[in-house]
Amino acid sequence: MASRSTQILEAAARVIARRGVRGLRVEELAAEAGVSTALIYYHFKDRTGVLRQTLAFISDRAERYTTDRDPDDSPLTPRQELEESLLLELQDTAQVRENSAAWGELRASAVFDEVLREDLARATLDWIQEVAALLGRVLPMTPASLLAAAAERLTALLEGLSMRWLSGGTGIGHARDLMRGAIDAELAGLRQN
Amino acid sequence: MASRSTQILEAAARVIARRGVRGLRVEELAAEAGVSTALIYYHFKDRTGVLRQTLAFISDRAERYTTDRDPDDSPLTPRQELEESLLLELQDTAQVRENSAAWGELRASAVFDEVLREDLARATLDWIQEVAALLGRVLPMTPASLLAAAAERLTALLEGLSMRWLSGGTGIGHARDLMRGAIDAELAGLRQN
DNA sequence: GTCTATATTCCGATAGAC
DNA sequence: GTCTATCGGAATATAGAC
């Protein structure tokens, strides 16, 4: 059912995960998708068009796997939900790797590209608020500002760990341990207030 | 006294901070350094060589401004030294911005470039060990593995916050507050063991 | 060591047939 | 819609003089 465009975007996500945004070559993308380069220009106008649509495609997909979880059986505790949500981004699967790599690329590119900044800031804020809400469910009655600060730290740490994982410095298991440790530490800190 | 190589590396740090690793053109680097492109190849073999040595240069420089502090008056407490060391990387000065931007770029590039991985991993490890040592001076008798884990989290968080600051999502003052909060949280966590 | 050419490679983009 | 073939520009890298 996947249309040609979708097929190309899926291939683009794989290529970006492998080579980065800057490393994406239209020719390699064509080979990965099993089509000619001309067809890519036909569907996406130019290389930038491919990039833009691929990033949109990827963030769609990330939202989808984040919420994929309700085979109506075991309901999670708030604490489990929090941990689950954060550790979801630290898994060695092709899809998560692709998404994380793309996110990291986006973040890094935004440092030098004003155009990307706004979208990225908005997406980050949404994410922080989501995590703050999860924290709030674990520890109700906690002041919102403290929840927000903890959520900012946890998400920023996750981005940092994710980059270290992808850049080969840290094993995925170790990164997950560190993340769990940080959740413990933040919850302990919040309880002390 | 700055040798030609040093002069080129300083220029490279500036260009990377401005355009990113991805955006570094040998020709632009040559212009920035006030030399010919050929000279760059003479000194650094190829573009990757420039990148590698710039990474080394930058981490050197970071260590140097980290330890620049002994007009023999007020000796710092271990706790102050720790905070100082970490917050040094979150200052809105040209040099820190340059170092942070370049570091972030190298980290992001290493995800897709095997050649950069090893150097980056070594520099990261050194940094973690340095922070672990500072933590150990604040809390002697703490098991080394716990110190190392806390140091890994603090440094990874710092990288994450740094990227958010540079990509415009987080103000520098707020980032510093978050970092201080994390130090408190980690020290509290370590004390509980 | 340093420069001025210039070679070489790579890659985005298009023309035109089917 | 899709392909084959190719152009043109940009960027890396080298040759050779000084």
**Nearest-CA distance from A158 to chain B in Å?**
8
CA dihedral A49→A51→A54→A59, nearest 10 degrees, is -120
Q: Determine whether B102 is exposed, middle or buried from the number of CB atoms within 10 Å of its CB (0-12, 13-18, 19+).
A: buried
- Alpha helix ranges (H) inside chain A: 4-19, 26-33, 37-44, 47-67, 78-87, 94-110, 114-138, 144-166, 172-191
Side chain identity at residue A21, one-letter code: V
| DSSP 3-state of A49 | helix
Which residues bind near strand C, taking a CB cut-off of 7 Å?
A 24-27, 37-38, 41, 46-48; B 4, 34-39, 42-43
Q: Centre a 10 Å sphere on the Cβ of residue A173 and count the other Cβ atoms it contains.
A: 11
- Cβ atoms of B173 and B90 closer than 8 Å: no
Nearest to B179 by CA among B190, B192, B164, B167: B164
Q: How many Cβ pairs within 8 Å bridge chains A and B?
A: 137
Q: What is the mean pLDDT of residues A100-107?
A: 90
- Cβ atoms of A172 and A92 closer than 8 Å: yes
For residue A147, what are the CA distances in angstroms to A134, A186, B158, B181? Answer: 9, 9, 19, 12
Residue labelled with tokens 């919102």: A144
* DSSP for residue B74: -
Contacts of A5 (CB under 8 A, 6+ apart): A43, A44, A53
Mean pLDDT of chain B: 93
Nearest to B17 by CA among B65, B77, B70, B57: B57
Q: Within a 13 Å sphere around the CA of A42, how many CA atoms are in the beta-carbon half? A: 9
CA distance A118 to A123: 9
CA distance A170 to B110: 13
Confidence at residue A75, expressed as pLDDT on a 0 to 100 scale: 87
Per residue in A172-181, pLDDT (tens digit) is 999 999 999 9
- Cβ atoms of B109 and B52 closer than 8 Å: no
* DSSP for residue A168: T
CA distance B189 to B193: 7
Q: Which residue in the set B112, B125, B157 is minimally distant from A19, CB to CB?
A: B112
B27 touches strand D (CB under 7 A): yes
B18 touches strand D (CB under 7 A): no
- Answer whether residue B26 shows pLDDT above 80: yes
Question: What's the pLDDT band for A67 if we cut at 50, 70, 90?
Answer: low
Q: Do A159 and B163 touch (CB under 8 A)?
A: yes
- Cβ atoms of B54 and B46 closer than 8 Å: no
Query: Among residues of chain A, what percentage have pLDDT more than 70?
Result: 97
Structural domains in chain B, sorted by start: 59-192 (1.10.357.10)
**3-class secondary structure for A52-91?**
HHHHHHHHHHHHHHHHCCCCCCCCCCHHHHHHHHHHCCCC
Q: What is the mean pLDDT of residues A103-125?
A: 87
Side chain identity at residue A189, one-letter code: G
Contacts of B184 in chain A (CB under 8 A): 189
Structure tokens at A61: 């997909």
Longest dimension (CA), chain B: 59
Confidence at residue A149, expressed as pLDDT on a 0 to 100 scale: 98
Searching chain B, which residue's CA lies closest to the CA of residue A103?
Answer: B108
Q: Give, as ranges, the nucleotides of chain C with any atom within 7 Å of a protein CB.
A: 1-5, 10-16
Side chain identity at residue A138, one-letter code: V
**Nearest-CA distance from A155 to chain B in Å?**
8
Question: What's the pLDDT band for B27 if we cut at 50, 70, 90?
Answer: very high
Nearest to B12 by CA among B2, B123, B25: B25
Structure tokens at B152: 């890994």
Question: What's the pLDDT band for B139 if we cut at 50, 70, 90?
Answer: very high
Overall pTM > 0.85:
yes
**Nearest-CA distance from A124 to chain B in Å?**
8
Confidence at residue B115, expressed as pLDDT on a 0 to 100 scale: 81
Per residue in A126-151, pLDDT (tens digit) is 999 999 999 999 999 999 999 999 99
Contacts of B56 (CB under 8 A, 6+ apart): B119, B123
A27 CA → D6 C1’, Å: 14
Q: Which residue in the set A19, A121, A170 is minimally distant from B169, CB to CB?
A: A121
Question: What's the pLDDT band for A106 if we cut at 50, 70, 90?
Answer: confident
